[in-house]
Structure 1
Amino acid sequence: MVLLTLLLCALALAGAVPVLVLAAQVLASLPPLRPTPVTGRRPSLAILVPAHDEAALIAGTVATLRAGLAPGDRLLVVADNCGDATAAAARAAGAEVVERHDPARRGKGYALDFGYRHLAATGLPETLVVIDADCAVAPADLDRLVRRSAALDGPVQAAYRLDPPPQASSSTLRLATFATLLKQIGRPLGAHRLGWPCNISGTGFAMPARLLGPAEQANGPSLASGHLAEDLKLGLDLALAGHPTRFCPEALVVSVLPVGAAARQSQQTRWEHGHLSLILPYAGALARAALRRGDLRLLAIALDLCVLPLVTLGLVEIALLALGLAGWGLGAGPWPLAIAGTGVAVLGLAFGLAASRWGGGLLRWQDLWALPRLVLGKAGILARFAGRRQTEWVRTERAGEEPSAG
């Protein structure tokens, strides 16, 4: 029974680590944000917009982004494997456009790499900014983002907010909005205040363009990837190459959550399967690099990577609690149960604090009735990861669209 107790203690302690990291980030995010002025030189920039079948949205996105350009800046839309009029609509709105046709290499990472190579061949500005085709960013926020990247001479992630669709309101949507708000803004803000780097969130990030040049790519970072979480992978590769991403809470990029439950499930599956598949290959590599270089920023990124999405983390903690209880019933010591129980309690406290800070004006008490549906959905996502994980990138359906056949 001693071996069983030690094994269960090790599992419970391993589960407690991401809970403590999350709790630290939540606590640090609680004080109100007091924006600090972003000063310094504004570099020349190129905005890279990957777009797959975005004809309905791309003109509005281009118009918003053009408002923030200065003379010499570039706005490049990559119409990637499109079957609609995305390219024509983007050109008509005033963007530079390149078209990519390669059905065998699907995914946002390949589109970004194609666009980067075009920019490099035709005059690459100092800073590269990536904005998704369904996002909006104000000129002032774009200016803050690129100035911060130039000042730090490294990658910088903006605050990425996903709002609920204006034509839909439900407990499930409000909970999903809260979860993404905590993940994309609350936790990075807390990490920023603790002096930790953050991960790239997929859209609204800027970096010196030279970091993706041939010499740098030989050391790891590359845009060309078909990975489900190509954004997260890029940030991890940049960190291992010595360029961890910093958070810029003063810059805001806004998008909208999918309306339909099936579209949200598809998006969550892609995000979570991509995240889970990166933990094992990168957490250890980051920890070893942190010890070898004496760079605790890499250890912070490794720990952040191990923090699963809120409901998924809750499921894991409850499973560890059940294991501790079963072990105690079989004669093991009480320590595994005590550690797992403490983890569940700390996670519950962190959830309550996060809900008060980031769910204020959004969540209602009756929304808790939707939690069982969310838990079942997350359990299904985890089960599919264990049995039939998603490996191919699939575009998320936008508001008002009919589900596509492809």
Structure 2
Amino acid sequence: MLVVDLLLCALALAGAVPVLVLAAQVLASLPALRPVPAAPRRPSLAVLVPAHDEAGLIAGTVAALRDGLQPGDRLLVVADNCRDATAAAAREAGAEVVERHDPAHRGKGYALDFGYRHLAAGGLPETLVVVDADCALAPACLDRIARLSAAHDAPVQAAYRLAPPPLASSSLRIATVATVIKQIGRPLGGHRLGWPCGISGTGFAVPTRLLGLPDGPALANGHLAEDLKLGLDLALAGHPPRFCPQAEVRSVLPAGAAARRTQQTRWEHGHLSLILPYAGALVRAALRRGDARLAAMALDLCVLPLVTLALAEAGLFGLGAAWWGLGGGAAPVLISGASLGLLVLVVAAAARRWGAGLLGWRDLAALPGLVAGKAAILRRFLGRRQTEWVRTERAGEGPPVG
């Protein structure tokens, strides 16, 4: 009995850690954002846009980015394994374009590496800014993250705001709020606590010298979460990313159920696959270097997406309650129950702060379906996890081919 009690208590305490980290981040994010002056010096820069079959969007993205360029800056689009007119559309819109054709190596990491090497052949600028082809980064935001990156000689991530599509369903509105909490609320709270942030894959700036160091990150990879992996690799190399809440990069969540499922699966399977190899490495590096920022990054990495975390906490509570009902100790159910209750309060506070105008009480009726869909994604991770990068279908498109 005692051994089982201790084991269940240990599991409940381990499950409470990400809830406490989330609570700290959310509480720190609640005060209103204050204006902060931009760093004084603007570095030379190149904007790199990886694009796979984005002929319908790339011209608008290029036009918006060109407005933020200064003489000497470069705007490079990597048309990556494209089967459409992405390259031609980008050239016509005024971008420098290179094309990569290598179906055996799919994924944004390979496109970033190809673009970086192309830029290096002509002389690298001081700063590289990466923007996805379906995103908008205003000129002032481009300028701000480039200046901040140069001032701190560190990677800088803009706030990544995903909006719901027109006439979004209740489940999409809930997903939008959860995404805003993950991409803006939590990083903002961590930033105020002095913690680094992860890289969201779009709207980030990085000094180019950090990408060319012998112990620096390898861009060329097909990992599902190549963006998160890049931020972790940079942190382990001694350059943890910083969050810039005053700059926003914007996009829209996919409207179709299949497209949304594809995106969620890629994000979650990618995130989960990085926890074991990187959390321990970050903690060891933190102890070896005496750098608490890396320990904070490890803790942040262990915070699962909200619905997944809720399922895990509910499972621990059910396990503790079942053991108590069989005559075991009450400590496991008390710990897990307190953790689950705190999670509910934290999510409610975060939704009120970051979901204002997006959610109504009626939308909560979609929660059971959302939970069921998330459970299916988790079951697939335990059985047949996704390992190959798959592009998310855009609005108005058919399902991806090949």
Residue matched to 2:199: 200
Matches within 5 A, 1:216-255: 216=213, 218-255=214-251
| TM-score after normalising by structure 2 | 0.99
Residue 363 of structure 2 aligns to which amino acid in structure 1? D
Counterpart pick for 1:379 among 367, 375, 378:
375
Instruction: Give the conservation status (yes or no) of the 8 Å contact 2:163–2:253.
Output: yes
Local SS of the residue matching 1:179: helix
Residue 36 of structure 1 aligns to which amino acid in structure 2? V
Q: Which ranges of 4 or more aligned residues in structure 1 deviate by more than 4 Å?
A: none
| Deviations, residues 129-160 of structure 1 (Å, cap 9, x unaligned) | 00000000110111111011111110000000
| Deviations, residues 191-248 of structure 1 (Å, cap 9, x unaligned) | 00111000001100001000001xx2x3241211100000000000000000000000
Local SS of the residue matching 1:252: strand
Local SS of the residue matching 1:76: strand
Distance 2:350 2:176 in 1: 13
Distance 1:212 1:39 in 2: 22
Distance 2:401 2:245 in 1: 38
Instruction: Give the conservation status (yes or no) of the 8 Å contact 1:35–1:249.
Output: no
Residue matched to 1:75: 75
Residue matched to 1:336: 332
Matches within 5 A, 1:156-171: 156-166=156-166, 168-171=167-170
Residue matched to 2:357: 361
Matches within 5 A, 1:392-403: 392-403=388-399
| Deviations, residues 238-287 of structure 1 (Å, cap 9, x unaligned) | 00000000000011100010010110011000000000000000001101
Residue 397 of structure 1 aligns to which amino acid in structure 2? E
Distance 1:121 1:19 in 2: 47
Distance 2:285 2:140 in 1: 37
Distance 2:44 2:117 in 1: 17
Deviation at 1:405, TM superposition (A): 2.7
Distance 1:334 1:135 in 2: 50
RMSD of equivalent CA atoms = 0.7
Distance 2:251 2:301 in 1: 23
Deviation at 1:54, TM superposition (A): 0.3
Distance 2:45 2:250 in 1: 20
Distance 1:177 1:35 in 2: 25
Over 3 Å counting, the alpha-carbon distance change for 1:220 and 1:11 in structure 2 is: farther
Distance 2:375 2:39 in 1: 46
Distance 2:288 2:379 in 1: 36
Matches within 5 A, 1:5-404: 5-166=5-166, 168-213=167-212, 216=213, 218-404=214-400
Deviation at 1:331, TM superposition (A): 2.5
Instruction: Give the conservation status (yes or no) of the 8 Å contact 2:391–2:400.
Output: no
Deviation at 1:190, TM superposition (A): 0.4
Instruction: Give the conservation status (yes or no) of the 8 Å contact 2:26–2:346.
Output: yes
Residue 374 of structure 2 aligns to which amino acid in structure 1? K
Local SS of the residue matching 2:251: strand
Local SS of the residue matching 2:201: coil
Local SS of the residue matching 2:129: strand
Residue 268 of structure 2 aligns to which amino acid in structure 1? E
Distance 1:277 1:332 in 2: 34
Distance 2:38 2:376 in 1: 43
Distance 2:311 2:173 in 1: 20
Residue 56 of structure 2 aligns to which amino acid in structure 1? A
Distance 1:152 1:374 in 2: 40
| Deviations, residues 61-114 of structure 1 (Å, cap 9, x unaligned) | 000000000000000000000000000000010000000000000000000000
Deviation at 1:403, TM superposition (A): 1.2
Distance 2:10 2:46 in 1: 48
Instruction: Tell me how many residue pairs correspond in the alignment.
Output: 402
Instruction: Give the conservation status (yes or no) of the 8 Å contact 1:160–1:184.
Output: yes
Local SS of the residue matching 1:172: helix
Deviation at 1:292, TM superposition (A): 1.0
| Deviations, residues 363-387 of structure 1 (Å, cap 9, x unaligned) | 1001110000110010000000000
Residue 177 of structure 1 aligns to which amino acid in structure 2? T
Local SS of the residue matching 1:46: strand
Local SS of the residue matching 2:39: coil
Residue 316 of structure 1 aligns to which amino acid in structure 2? A
Distance 1:270 1:402 in 2: 19
Local SS of the residue matching 2:157: strand
Local SS of the residue matching 2:140: helix
322-331 or 66-75, larger mean C-alpha shift: 322-331
Deviation at 1:170, TM superposition (A): 1.4
Instruction: Give the conservation status (yes or no) of the 8 Å contact 2:149–2:206.
Output: yes
